Chains A and B, each alone.
Chain A
Amino acid sequence: MNALRALIIGDAQADRVVPPSGFTAQLTLFVSGAMAFLCVFALALSLASGRVATRWSDELARAATLRINAPAEQRVAQTEAALQILRQTPGVAKARALTTDEQAALLAPWFGAGIPLDTLPVPQLIEVTEDDPGYDAQGLRLRLQAEVPGAVLDDHARWRRPLVEAAIALRRLGVVSILLIGGAMGAMITLAANAALAANAQVIEVLRLVGAQDSYIAQAFVRRFTLRALTGAAAGVALGMIGVFLMPEASEEGGFLTGLGFQSWRWLLPLIIPPVAATVAFVATTRAARKRLGELA
């Protein structure tokens, strides 16, 4: 607690005893800035993946499609029969045959607008909305098989599961990336702190000669590296947030590659990164200083 207080309040005179070190200062600033910048994107990716996984799971879990593959002359009758079965099936909240225009809109991304659906052998689609609790998919399939031979029930489970799994894996990847970024930053700052301690061996010797305790010497280095990491990370987060803000907003056309930004209060989450970076630098430099001072004793 005392160490934390001393770290925050500082001692202007004590800060001066360690000479300003050129490349280690720049290295720490650059590494913290770059890592914080990457961390913002990893965080955005992780949150967006989680959001997508939830949305896909929620949206697709309650919907199914019934496809009527029947000759043109039987299509209307089979559609009507299927709708009749669906209305009688417990767990089905709503069943509705898509209109010709709606089916044309679904095919428009591949065939363009104005497809003459009445001249093409396109199956009739029925949108099924599940109730809570849902229906017995296996039982419904057996009944449809017996009464509407051209009906195929697709409850989306086949492709919903891998998509949701992919989104969850992406989120995990984002979290692992954040942890790796933190670890890499800690390692780089440890290297920089070791270099600074080695370069200032004579300063340490003089300080010890005049009665400086190791905690005093360590703090002079730790405070400097912690503040540098905080400054670098703050700059990196600012740049990262601008980058995320400038990314395209979520749209139907863009699919998954859009909407990677933060939403609502989650814009505040990247602000955690600079204090975390400072903590990583504090721990890394404290350990490096203790080890180095022990070796020099």
Chain B
Amino acid sequence: MASLSKAVNTVQMTPKKLKVKRFVPLENPTNTYLTDEKGIWAWLTTVDHKKIGLMYLGAVAFFFALAGFLAIALRTELWTPAKTFIEADTYNQLFTLHGAMMVFFVLVPSIPAALGNFILPMQLGAKDVAFPRLNLASFYIYAFGAIFTFLSLANNGFDTGWTFYTPYSSDTNSAGIIWVTLGVFILGFSSILTGTNFITTIHKLRAPGISWDRLPLNVWALYATSIIQVLATPVLAITILLLAMENILDIGIFDPALGGDPVLYQHFFWFYSHPAVYIMIVPGFGIISEVITTFSKKTIFGYWAIALSSLAIAFIGFLVWGHHMFTSGQSAVATTIFSFLTFLVGIPTGIKIFNWVATLYRGSILMKTPMIYVFIFIFLFSIGGFTGIMLGALSVDIHLHDTYYVVAHFHYVMMGGTLIALLAGLHYWWPKMTGKMYNEPLAKFAAVLIFVGFNVTFLPQFIMGAQGMPRRYYNYIDQFTPFHQTSTIGSYILAVGFLVILFYLAHSLIKGQKAGPNPWNSRGLEWQSTSPPDFHNFSHTPVVIHGPYDYHQPMEEFQLGLAVDHEYGDEQDEVAAEAHASLDTETTEA
């Protein structure tokens, strides 16, 4: 392994011993990443992956609140079949903005750039990601892209739907579309930089002993995600660039009036945007794998099956984009092939679900908030997944295409999947990130509110969609009124749920109880550091001799580090190297 330190290399040459000590993390760390550098300027210029992760988390939360607020406005408008309180044109702009923001500003960066940034280097025992300055740059590129989107709103806005389909998007003479597409173009670079950074970090910065078969599944998931980010995002970039040129110069590649092909745009767009939904959901799978083992106190069932199914999803995800275009007029042969390939995605996803459920079997399950979110995830995501298979079936899709059924399916996988997983991860790692606990009963209450609110909002949309209610419509016929009204009430319950979360998390920051280094008694490497962690994550170079889910091994064997002098750090219970003679070779081989 390339990242082994010189110290280890010398050990390899001199007969056996790697000198290992036990490092028990401090209960009350005095020196943490939060106290290391202070002031707003230190935050804005930091290259620390933990602070950048938190800045991303703040930005994502901000955009989620904004786009969520739009969703509430949209649902309120749909209370009556005709106008309730917004004009039709505004309505079109609002649902476009809701979709574009939720996809590009919230879901894509949410887990990798916010939680992943914080947790990935810690799970690898690294001090930082491979390119810390690029990491900071990616955050500012993200902010810059956001500014462009707001500029678009100041320039007539855009009402194309988040997919920017041509020729409507290229013919509409609105400066707003140019601004927002350039904004999305810029955001893509932020995503690419994060992906590049993660791939390099995972390959080159693993601590001694973390071989590929000891990678936490969260890392495997982020690895698969990063591959998709690097391979798919540039295609979106060039598509968006061509669209902008189409708008500015009329170069005629997508515009049928000039001899171009609008369906080519759809191919380009979905070549990115279908893999992009896996950019959003696969990191969620990683979080679920982490949380489910910690709260079952049991080794994960089917480690390799889960790890490789992430890669399989990344691979198959590139071959199914045509299922968004069954009604676009692409050839019947292509349509049939895309339909069959779409069914294939169900296999690796199913493998994951079965392995998670098998992990629960005979575990000692601890029903804490993150675990409750895991159960919500499995329930909602399974519904979302199955309805996805139905939409992949050709004949069914012709009926359901562009109806509320698609809207409901997408929200079940993206909100019921990604966002619930994000909440699971946020509650799971919150003590690590802040050093504080949150109010557990309130957190459980909020989880129940969200679960109920979510289903009340989106289950009626499946029924409406199956009965033919088209998506994106401002008016609807009277027979859909009860469904729309139920859905609107559900969205209010959801909103209350999120407000409760906001309340107790803010409360936890100010008055939360001290969490201690490892409140869940996890075997994961990130929990063997103080809470909140040291600026360098660990006061020592961690040495790993077990997999991250080996709950049958004693805790002290997870608290090892290289016995090299450090400026700070708390060295206790020196575990004699002889006592772990077997681990010497194991570690150095890795």
> Do the two shown chains form a genuine complex with each other?
no
Interface residues of B (CB under 8 A from A): none
